[in-house]
Amino acid sequence: MTILYDSNRGCTACPLSEGCKGPVPAVGLETSKVMLIGEAPGRNEDIKGEPFTGDAGQYLDSLLDSVGIRRSDVLISNVVKCRPRGNRTPTVEEAEFCATRWLDVEVEMFQPEIIVPMGRVAIQHFLGDVTVEHVHGIPAGKVLPVYHPAAGFYDTRLMRAIQEDFQALGKLVNGETQSAPVDQHPDPDYVEYENITGKSFSSGDRPMMAYDTEVVDNKLWSVQASGVTGTAGFFPGMDQPAVKGKAVVHNYLYDAQWIDLPDSTDDTMLMAYLLGLPQGLKELAWRLCGMEMQSYQEIMGDHRRRKGLLYLSEAAKHDWPDPPDLTDVIWIKKDGRLGSVTKKPQHISRKIKRIIADVVGGKENKDGPVNPWTRWHNIDPRERAAVEEQLGKMPDASLEDVDPDTAIRYSCRDADATLRVYQVLWPKIQELGLEFTYQLDRQVLPVAMSMMQEGIALDGEFLGILGRHYMELMEAKAEDIFSLVGKRFNPNSDNELRVLMYEYLGFKPTKFTETGLPKVNKEELSKLKHAVVPMLLEYKHLAHLKDSFCDTLPGKIDSHGRVHCTINVTRTETGRWSMKEPNLQQIPARTEYGREIRKAFVAGPGYYLAAIDYSQIEMRVAAHLAQCQSMIGLFNEGRDIHTETAAQIFNVPLDQVTSQQRYPTKTMGFGVIYGLTPHGLYSQMAQEGLRD
């Protein structure tokens, strides 16, 4: 590759230049018709002074090769020329400042026919405030937005989308025309229930009826229904339509909480999940049907602004206490140590008055008029605490605040979009022969809903006792830690832990947070060779169990003594379900302390709790698909594949394989199937103390 110019290697126009070797210039063929633009240099690029030379660069090469494009025939650059500290994502301000100074000049200088921004920062520079999921792979004039190649390293679900994006690039280079989808119903007919007397909104003789719900203050506010594309009816919350016949929704597990849906209801989110497409309805409607849909934030913008201004006007009438001193710890690179910075923030009353003045005075930011909601929530929570303690949180807007015509159009569009998306997705499911797989997943949706509603019984008193026991263990462990290192500190404070490890004990940090502070998480601590590390990890493990489970779960128990979580059926790459609020799948099982938590989950009178699991199902499927006779033989003989593998790797007899030897081989076995990277394997091993 040819470095096109090196004059910007001496640029010091912004603070980013202080944390790297120097800005990285563009490289490539000056006369190329294609210009690829990333977000910012990484560590390797910073050292070599050339963009895309690390792992992401190698993957980029393979993507280009797969569509018949040579790297030497394209231009490659970045929006931001300097590597942000810790390889963090550049801010909007950093991107715009640097791009105006360098990237925009490059584009004007080289006049590429096809501009390929890769990743959010680059895409938003050219297309404004859009999401990658919404626009990737669809040409917008001479700009083809694509996912950043490195995105697939962090989320393997994106690999397919990344490859499809570059296939789109290959078609453009070969002269094949591509255009955005066209909305077939640009002037839809959305009407309120009261104005459609006599029209049936059960599916009747129609092949499908799409439904959508809107909720305000945790109560059903409206139901929308669409049986013909380009039309929809709006039903206020008290006038729900009876759901009859064949129905489809987007996210069954949400809508089924508010309206009675047949067990046979189809789910376009599930269809999109199986097809590897975006799961957001707005992204799907745009990409498949050309439907432009306003976001909830766009609808609420002025109303949120009005409510925020009223809140701040009330706050301005009060006398608030002087602000607290704010102390933060930073890593001073030139001295190789941590330093603390204490500042006295501006009085909250002055900040409130400044926001009001900016809003009333019509001040403009880069993204539009000043939004009091955003400005207020950008203030450090420690500074807002006194105000929010007395006045409560700043109220948010809802559909009740929107004029009826706007609310009806916004709400009905979701039902219309669901129907249109279904009509595109179902033929794709059939074309790929996924009907059976889809029906299996669809039929368990009511089961998941039942599980969410039923919940699981939890012994809160037991967790309280266990939490106090863990607190005693933590106190004893802390004293052991203090004796070993010869000083007392707060082991719950990341800042004090940074001082201990990177200043008092003299270790050098290798990874930093987005704000530039050295990381002290489990993965980073596990890399450090010191006797205090295992003790700290055990202390942090106990603290995590106490805080996340013993102290938190009892507060989620309902009046019937049960805990209810939210189940996600379309979020994981493996196809497994995931849970949140609380995540009951995260209850630890590999440590004795963690297993004690599980004893708090109990069965009701006359019932038992049973643990049921497929035996190494993924490995059995892999053995069958690969027709690996050695693996098939192991399973047919009832032997444990992970133990067998560990015995061979560590060269020990089968009956002497330890759990610490079996665990990494099991992790690697599943990792091969699910795309675990070498770094990912190292991280998991380090956290288990097995990296050596």
CA distances from 414 to 211, 269, 291, 408, 563 (A): 8, 13, 10, 10, 31
- What pLDDT score was predicted for residue 618? 84
pLDDT for 1 equals 44
The answer to whether 404 and 230 have CB atoms below 8 angstroms apart is no
pLDDT score of 129 more than 50 = yes
Collect all residues with Cβ–Cβ distance below 8 Å to 7 and sequence separation of at least 6. 25
Question: What is the predicted pLDDT for the residue at 206?
Answer: 55
Whether the Cβ atoms of residue 329 and residue 339 lie closer than 8 Å to each other: yes
Nearest to 273 by CA among 418, 441, 452, 33: 441
Average pLDDT score over residue span 35-40: 95
Pick from 139-148, 338-347, 609-618, 631-640: least confident? 338-347
Residue 544, pLDDT above cutoff 60: yes
Element (H, E) at 636: helix 629-636
Q: Is the pLDDT of residue 630 over 80?
A: yes
CB-based contacts of 204: which residues, under 8 Å, 6+ apart?
Answer: 244, 245
Q: DSSP of 530-581, one letter per residue?
A: -THHHHHHHHHHHHHHIIIIITTGGGG--TTSEE--EEESS--TTS--EEES
Q: What φ, ψ does residue 308 adopt, rounded to 5°?
A: -65, -40
262 vs 676, residue with greater confidence: 262
Burial of 174 (C-beta count, 10 Å sphere; 0-12/13-18/19+)? exposed
pLDDT band at 335 (very low <50, low <70, confident <90, very high): low
Distance CA 424, CA 448 (A): 26
pLDDT recorded at residue 230: 95
Residue 62 · residue 83 · CB < 8 Å? no
H runs (alpha helix) in 228-293: 252-255, 268-275, 281-289
Residue 471 forms beta bridges with which residues?
none
Q: So what's the pLDDT on residue 675?
A: 67
Our separate counts of H helices and E strands in the chain read: 28, 19
Burial class (CB in 10 A: 0-12, 13-18, 19+), 682: middle
pLDDT in tens, 388-438: 999 999 988 899 999 999 999 999 999 999 999 999 999 999 999 999 999
- Tens digits of residue pLDDT in 458-500: 999 999 999 999 999 999 999 999 999 999 888 888 888 998 9
Query: What pLDDT is attached to residue 199?
Result: 44
| Both structure tokens of 177 | 């025309």
Instruction: Tally Cβ neighbours within 10 Å of residue 239.
Output: 12
Crossing angle for the helix pair 659-674 and 678-687, to the nearest 10 degrees = 150
Taking every pair of C-alpha atoms in the chain, what is the biggest distance, in angstroms? 82
3-state secondary structure 293-337: CCCHHHHHHHHHHHHHHHHHHHHCCCCCCCCCCEEEEEEECCCCE
CB 394 within 8 A of CB 376: yes
Residues of the chain with pLDDT > 70: what percent?
90
DSSP three-state, residue 36: strand
How many Cβ atoms from other residues are within 10 Å of residue 350's Cβ?
Answer: 11
| Nearest Cα residue to 265 out of 201, 212, 193, 191 | 212
Residue owning tokens 């009740």: 400
Report angle CA 221, 223, 227 to the nearest 5 degrees: 165
Residue 378 has pLDDT above 80, yes or no: yes
pLDDT confidence of 340, banded at 50, 70, 90?
low
Q: What pLDDT, on a 0 to 100 scale, did the predictor assign at position 200?
A: 45
Cα separation, 502 vs 518, in Å, equals 8
239 DSSP 8-state letter: S
Average pLDDT over residues 19-44: 88
Mean pLDDT (whole number) for 632-638: 91
Give the CA distances from residue 627 to residues 506, 619, 621, 637, in Å, rounded to whole numbers and listed in that order: 53, 12, 10, 16
pLDDT tens digits, residue range 160-181? 889 999 999 999 999 888 778 8
Give the model's confidence band at 191: pLDDT under 50 very low, under 70 low, under 90 confident, else very high.
confident
Does 596 score more than 50 pLDDT? yes
Does residue 690 carry a pLDDT above 60? no
The listed range with the strongest mean pLDDT (340-344, 449-453, 647-651) is 449-453
Of 271, 375, 386, the closest CA to residue 318 belongs to 386
Buried b (16+ CB within 10 A) or exposed e, 91-103: eeebbbbbbeebb
pLDDT digits (tens, 9 = 90+) for 288-333: 999 999 888 888 878 888 999 999 999 999 999 988 887 665 555 5
582: preceding bond cis by omega (within 30 degrees):
yes
* pLDDT of the residue at 339: 57
With 60 as the cut, is the pLDDT of residue 46 above it? yes
Q: What percent of the chain has pLDDT over 90?
A: 51
| Number of neighbours of residue 597 by Cβ within 10 angstroms | 23
Q: In what order do the strands lie in the sheet with 266-267?
A: 189-192, 231-236, 219-226, 209-216, 247-249, 266-267
For 674-689, what is each residue's pLDDT tens digit? 766 666 666 666 555 5
What count of other Cβ atoms lies within 10 Å of the Cβ of residue 280? 18
DSSP string, 83-123: PPGGGPPPPHHHHHHHIIIIIHHHHHHH--SEEEEBSHHHH
* CA-CA-CA-CA torsion sign (201, 203, 207, 211): positive
Residues 6+ apart with CB under 8 A from 134: 278, 280, 282, 283, 286, 287
Q: What is the mean pLDDT of the chain?
A: 87
